[in-house]
Chains A and B, each alone.
Chain A
Amino acid sequence: MTTKMPTVKFTKLFINGDFVDSISGREFETIDPRTEEVIARIAEGSKEDIDVAVKASRVAFDHGSWPRMTGVERARIMMKWADLIDENAEEIAKLDAIDAGKLYHFCKAIEIPSAANTIRYYAGAADKIHGEVLKPAREFHAYTLMEPIGVVGHIIPWNFPSSMFVTKVAPSLAAGCTMVLKPAEQTPLSALFYAHLAKLAGIPNGVLNVVPGFGPTAGAALCSHMDVDKVSFTGSTKVGREIMCAAANSNLKPVSLELGGKSPLVVFDDADLDKAIQLAFLGVAYNKGEICVAGSRVFVQEGIYDEFEKKLVEKAKTWVIGDPFDSKVQQGPQVDKKQFEKILSYIEHGKREGATLLTGGKRVGNKGYYIEPTIFSNVKEDMLIAQDEIFGPVMALMKFKTIEEAITSANNTRYGLAAGIMTKNLDTANIMSRSIRAGTIWINCYFIFGNDIPYGGYKMSGFGRDFGLEALHKYLQVKSVVTPIYNSPWL
């Protein structure tokens, strides 16, 4: 399973336009989850490195060309960057596949080109950031300026190394910010490659810095830095809370958090059954269940429940697990040992709690972090597997009778990231859309992300939105400018 090993070209910190060793000289290993072997040794950023990177960003923001360019000029550079990513899609896809255990062919055909498209979307937005002219109640002229917020700290997770990178970086670049990004320690490779391409495209030194490292050291340093104006984080709810505390205890920097979820998929009796089964299964199996909007709680109305359960299990058994470089494979390994063990322990917990294991539940093979798609039935809402985010291919299947019951159950979670609704009935769709407390509602579809579709959480799934023009607001300050006017012909 060690075929098609990509050459890893970039392993150092990217600060102020150069690849540099960490100040401490320390390195950490990034591991191939297929084999548990070391892919490469990566410079390990810590507080001192973050300080240097923030300083480079600060200078680039306070004195550099990036915030002083027109949106048009920023857009041209971003467009070029996107083109370079397209040209290098194959190599980047290999890096994500080997680093995160993601499906290589899917990355190459979909994820990497989509990342380029996201950059193009925000390049197109860079010259469309409008303030407003206001309507004061007295004889004043007033308007708002939408100014870049300054130096941004981005901390991104390992499950979608490419998508997360551009989701954070592209809107903040379009807004005119400079930034320090810490990729997840599991998946530093593509982020460094993107930094290299950004430089080739003409993004000035210091505007985009990438410092690989660990959360408690590099991540914490970024969040508590007094000279960082904003932190944008995607990751677990637990870490999100620490980040917010760090921001509160330092300079009160605004924070946006895109955190965990326990999203419901609610299937009504009148749903297209085959489609519902397919979406429900993909809801937990896509990307090995390592996705914050996994449809990990599936509620099925009693009229179709039995048939649904039977076909769902059949579907799960056809699922192909193996080397993510193999084009026939549908699921690769979990990202690392820690996640792998955590998932298996949740599965054991589910069994102990009395849920029925319908299928799966075991690791696959004896090397690498492969886990079978796992479905539990007879799940009670207060069970841990129905409450906690497992972040693996594990589904909690539940039955419901009425729409009122479905609403109550769907909302019975501390999370609120997304929800899926399968029904042909317009009223049901409308009622559910407004009743579920979540940031995205998919009606008869699931996992439909789009550059123009804002995405983020209610409740403990976080706050702030990625994607869409909404995301720009995270990286903008609003300045009101007011001045008296005399003898205006209108007010």
Chain B
Amino acid sequence: MMASRRLSWLLSRTLSASYSSGAASLLHSLVRNSGGWRNINRFRFSTAAAVEELITPQVPIRYTQHLINGKFVDAASGKTFPTYDPRTGEVIAPVAEGDVEDINRAVTAARKAFDEGPWPKMTAYERSRILLRFADLVEKHSDELAALETWDNGKPHEQAAKVELPIFVRLFHYYAGWADKIHGLTVPADGNYHVQTLHEPIGVAGQIIPWNFPLLMFAWKVGPALACGNTIVLKTAEQTPLTALLAAKLFHEAGLPEGVLNVVSGYGPTAGAALASHMDVDKLAFTGSTDTGKIVLELAARSNLKPVTLELGGKSPFIVCEDADVDKAVELAHFALFFNQGQCCCAGSRTFVHERIYDEFLEKSKKRALKRVVGDPFKKGVEQGPQIDVEQFEKVLRYIRSGIESNATLECGGDRLGSKGFFVQPTVFSNVKDDMLIAKDEIFGPVQSILKFKDIDEVIRRANATRYGLAAGVFTKNVNTANTLMRALRAGTVWINCFDVFDAAIPFGGYKMSGIGREKGIYSLHNYLQVKAVVSPLHHPAWI
């Protein structure tokens, strides 16, 4: 029941082949390429047909064992588990199944690499060069990584190749740049003391990542931990173990010493739990569901009180004000929810629309959803692939039924697509009320809920009436409205006239039950540093 089954995350535009690699141009691309999306939509084909003619990925499965202490090894038990192709539900490959003993071995390797190894003792500049070399190798292998990512995860290949891989590389450049700029402070004391703070690596970091953005979550976790000089045991999601193993292999080719980054595949209740409760792990970082986050936090509390960062679920509002350009708002709200099959923790899953433009917005949103191209994610022009696995697939369909039963109006979609794999029709509900389950729970699928509001105070109250607080979108031309909403919304990210803009430098994380701590940006470094105050007396100082 635990399993790091879920997710988190992420980024920007999806499907334009003309994606520009500049991170700050994400929004621009979004606006510039909206015409391109329409073009793609014209060539829409039937999903059933698309699913029947699957493209076979031309990529070898090179690594399926654990990577511990620089070597690929079988599970201690010898057991394996299957990783599936979500387009068909068929097995891609058996993968070594980690359990307590594998985690113990990995932690021992990481411990040794931290306590005795060269990694924390290297100069920051040397660490930074290894991170840069790794980024170069990833660029070189980006076709292989992107194909593997789509195969294992089901996300559109164009998105993986043209958006996520460049962002992955960008993240490692970013953290390489931090490695030699991690500053402690010299501190003024109330007395004759010389005080300084040393920012030291925290030690062995345990990291548990979800399946929705396997590579990007790898980068969010591994990048800052390594830049700060830590060693790592990473447990991938059981749905998507493949790309992390290849990436970690490339890291060793780039010169990462053995034991610094260990990757164990496996399930949450076994391998994940072992990592979270390990007495020799100094720090735990988890991205996944709120339910699992609670378990992780509890395991940390019951073991060695290791500090925990959690990046959990969300039910993020997307607020369309009355002065908004409706066409742009429709496109952005659609993107905010449907991107990555709706499998984003920050998905804009409550679309609040001002009553004056509600009808027009609804009509156009429905039209947009109907045009969404669902099919084999390896095919060009496909915007939406299958959900990750049968469990998620069924959960999404259950929520759709719940929406219908609670008398929300089903505008379009509402069922699976085809008869094979985990494809779900893009689904739009209108007349959604705040107390309906589909407006409260994180669905994590292509289900948009559109709600009507009258004034700003009302929408602030309703947008905040959730146990989550991960992100929010605001669509308005009015600077006062924007300023009011950006402060009033209780969420870790507020996107104004944009959504899912994910840059390495922009911190991300949740208020309330969306989590603890921030990833990315300068803030992420603090997750992986201890602060040591060093105090010594000063005799006859020239100044204080």
Contacts and interface: CB of A to CB of B under 8 A. Distances in A.
Nearest to A124: B177
A490 B542 CA distance: 42
B541 A430 contact: yes
A141 interface: yes
Contact of A486 (B22, B24, B483, B505): B483
A469 B183 CA distance: 10
B180 A130 contact: no
A483 interface: yes
Contact of B128 (A73, A124, A126): A124
The listed residue with most B CB atoms (<10 A of its CB), out of A427, A430, A486, is A430
Interface string A480-491: 000111111110
Contacts of A490: 487
Contacts of A37: none
Contacts of A169: none
B319 to A, nearest CB: 16
Contacts of B488: 487-489
Contacts of B543: 434
Given A70-B23, A485-B484, A488-B484, A127 B505 contact: yes
Contacts of B504: 72, 127
Given A124-B181, A427-B539, A430-B539, A488 B505 contact: no
B463 interface: no
B540 interface: yes
Contacts of A123: 177
Main secondary structure of the interface of B (DSSP, over half): helix
Interface string B529-544: 0000000111111110
A489 to B, nearest CB: 5
B14 to A, nearest CB: 20
A486 B176 CA distance: 41
Given A127-B504, A128-B505, A431-B540, A72 B181 contact: no
B177 A127 contact: yes
A426 B194 CA distance: 11
Interface residues of B, number: 36
Given A483-B479, A487-B484, A488-B487, A72 B178 contact: no
The listed residue with most A CB atoms (<10 A of its CB), out of B176, B183, B538, B540, is B540
Contacts of A434: 538, 541-543
Interface string B464-492: 00000000000000011001100110000
A451 interface: yes
The listed residue with most B CB atoms (<10 A of its CB), out of A79, A124, A128, A431, is A124
B125 A125 contact: no
B180 A430 contact: no
Contacts of B522: 128, 130
A487 B488 CA distance: 9
A70 B25 contact: yes
Contacts of A486: 480, 483-484
Interface string A454-491: 00000000000000010000000000000111111110
A487 B487 CA distance: 9
A430 B536 contact: yes
Interface residues of A, number: 36
Given A124-B128, A483-B479, A485-B484, A72 B541 contact: no
B173 interface: yes
Given A72-B22, A127-B504, A435 B542 contact: yes
A426 B504 CA distance: 42
A488 B489 CA distance: 10
A73 B22 contact: yes
Given A75-B177, A487-B484, A70 B539 contact: no
A160 B124 CA distance: 25
B344 interface: no
Given A124-B178, A431-B539, A469-B181, A79 B132 contact: yes
Contacts of B181: 121, 124-125, 128, 452, 469
Contacts of A69: 22
A330 interface: no
B511 interface: no
Interface in A113-128: 117, 120-121, 123-128
Interface in B176-232: 176-181, 183, 194
Given A70-B22, A430-B536, A141 B483 contact: yes
A128 B522 CA distance: 8
Interface in A424-446: 426-427, 430-431, 434-435
A84 to B, nearest CB: 15
Given A72-B170, A434-B543, A451 B177 contact: no
Given A70-B24, A127-B505, A434-B542, A121 B483 contact: no
B361 interface: no
B174 interface: yes
Interface in A290-340: none
A127 B484 contact: no
Nearest to B540: A431
A489 B489 CA distance: 9
A469 B182 CA distance: 11
B436 to A, nearest CB: 27
Interface string B151-191: 00000000000000000001001101111110100000000
A341 B504 CA distance: 55
Contacts of B479: 483
Given A72-B24, A141-B483, A489-B488, A121 B180 contact: yes
B132 A485 contact: no
Interface in A150-199: none
A407 B540 CA distance: 12
A483 B194 contact: no
Contact of B176 (A124, A431, A452): A124
Nearest to B135: A79
Contacts of B177: 75, 123-128
Interface in B97-134: 124-125, 128, 132
A270 to B, nearest CB: 16
Interface in B1-45: 22-25
Contact of B487 (A72, A73, A126, A485): A485
B22 A124 contact: no
Contacts of A487: 484, 488
A452 B184 CA distance: 12
Nearest to A428: B539
Nearest to B25: A70
A75 B173 contact: yes
Nearest to B194: A430
B481 to A, nearest CB: 9
Nearest to A73: B22
A469 B483 CA distance: 31
A72 B175 CA distance: 12
Interface in A392-419: 407
Contacts of B176: 124
The listed residue with most B CB atoms (<10 A of its CB), out of A117, A407, A485, is A485
A189 B365 CA distance: 63
Given A127-B505, A469-B181, A72 B538 contact: no
Nearest to B541: A434
Interface in B268-311: none
8 contacts: A76-B173, A121-B180, A124-B128, A127-B174, A130-B522, A435-B541, A483-B479, A488-B487
Given A431-B538, A488-B483, 5 more contacts: A427-B539, A430-B541, A434-B543, A483-B483, A489-B488
Closest 8 CB pairs of A and B: A124-B177, A70-B24, A435-B542, A434-B542, A488-B487, A485-B483, A434-B541, A70-B22
Interface of B: 22-25, 124-125, 128, 132, 170, 173-174, 176-181, 183, 194, 479-480, 483-484, 487-488, 504-505, 522, 536-543
